Structure 1
Amino acid sequence: MPDLREPFGAESTALEVIDGIDLHHRTAVVTGAGSGIGIETARALAAAGAAVTLAVRDVATGDRVAADIRASTGNDAVRAAFVDLADVGSVRSFASSWSGPLHLLVNNAGVMDLPEQRTPEGWEMHFAVNHLGHFALAQGLHPAMRSAGGAKIVSLSSSGHASSGIRFDDLFFDRDPYDPGLAYGQSKTANVLFALEATRRWEDDGIAGSAVMPGGIWTNLQRHWDPAVLIGMKRRYRTKTVQQGAATSVYVATRAELGPGTPAYYEDCHPAKVVAAIQGGVHGVLPHALDPVAADWLWDASERLLAQSR
């Protein structure tokens, strides 16, 4: 149930959530912070004093966004750095270059409804970018998070997780015909399971995570949608601004109590209800995304896949 003492909800913005929070002497990494809700997540964390790294594929765009955030917040400790989540070598290079503790890792970047694409390893692109890239990043930054003493991981999921659990025997559509909706859904389920399992496995390291559903926000993420479908969705469902969409990420990063046994999926700045079917197109989390057996299996499978990419 929502904590009625907290004034935050669906209409809250990231800057409203961060108000009164002091993140000076804290560090944060936000992936995909060159556009959309990633920008506003990074802006809010910087506004509270955090040193924020925008982990982006397009560094020129990232540099422009970093300059804008520095100007709007007065925080000079905002920079952009290159990482391509589809390229494990790039992820490892980013992580190996990190110096000092890391207090907040916001796995914000993602792709959606792509035509069939694969990495050089043969990994389906949704799973590779949305899950495996972020998994590799968290693994690489684990020592930095451990040294922070109380680090948090925020994993951006979606109500789209409802369309598919983990396809244990066909992760990459090697057997079944490719379906972009199922591929996206599987990757979003993986985001929740990762947060759940990271909290369990890294409890002794003081690291905990949770997944978030930002809400219905129309950004560059939907660029591969059929335009007619997109128009219909905009008419049917209530939408948020990017500032509102970033609020739940910021809430979990700075206000939510995370750890074993705490909620693994938030929406509208509150824990989501476990449901049999998504409500109103956006609300609730399905049991398959909270299955500890699936979380354990996925973690081990992800480690094996990354080991093969060396």
Structure 2
Amino acid sequence: MNYYAVFDVGGTSTKYALMNETGEFIEKSSMDTPKDSLEQLMDLLDSTVKEFEKKRKLRGIALSMPGAVNVEEGVIEGASALPYVHGPNIRSILEKRTGLPVDLENDANCASLAEGWIGAARDVKDYICIVIGTGIGGAVVLDKRIRHGKNLHAGEFGFMIMEDYLDQPMGTSWSSVGSTEAIVQLVAKRKGRDASGLDGKMVFEMADHGDKEVQDEIRKFTKRIAVGILNLQYAIDPEKILIGGAISEREELIDQINETLSSMKSNMHRLSVKVEACRFGNDSNLIGALYHFLQRKQNADLAQTNFI
């Protein structure tokens, strides 16, 4: 059995685990992510790897990272809550410090890969994962592989223009009307209260307790999500569409989205579109990061065999 050190580096905390090649956790925990420098982060990762090496012989290090990860170069482009990770060659730095092979991938892409490996999409090759949180992101997976796009923006579904495109130069994006943050803002406006005192959980609890105005906003919110999903189904035509993020834990919302999608079926829209919830929660980025590492290693081994 082969073993790996796996990290999910986030803006606030970094999850880490010792895992085997089947995706099983041997041990896992978390620590605060350093705010000041890449050197501090590398020190933490390096020390954790050394602790794991006392228990198992490691075959490599897998990272889930924020930002637009260039998996070929090992660098992170774009922007995130950790400015210091953008620019330096993370892979090269960590490989030199540990002497182990390293691979990294974007966090949302990792979450999607986890579903394709041992989760809700394990039985299909082509699927979309839509992650609904403060904004809307996700991934396009074809033949079990992430499609990054020319500018590393494939899966940035939240930038799709949904409304007001005739009146505004850029219109209204999907993130601004279909994210968790969007429903909070819309309900706050409808109720005439400060949005800072609300969150997504509170909004849905208000609806559960019979607030008609909030229920109406959630109905429109659900329709906006369904419209975006229908557009993606026709654009990419995957075998499955999955929804992730904390909002996906509400089974009744998934049911409402599917009911809305079903009601939109007509002579023009003939496809039977249905969504499922992602299966993994906080562990998804770790599982997907490991799968990405194993995919990359397999490709490298095949290339070497063909060369010989």
TM over 0.5, shorter chain: no
Greater strand fraction, Structure 1 or Structure 2: 2
Rg comparison, structure with higher value: 2
TM-score, structure 2 normalization? 0.28
TM-score, structure 1 normalization? 0.28
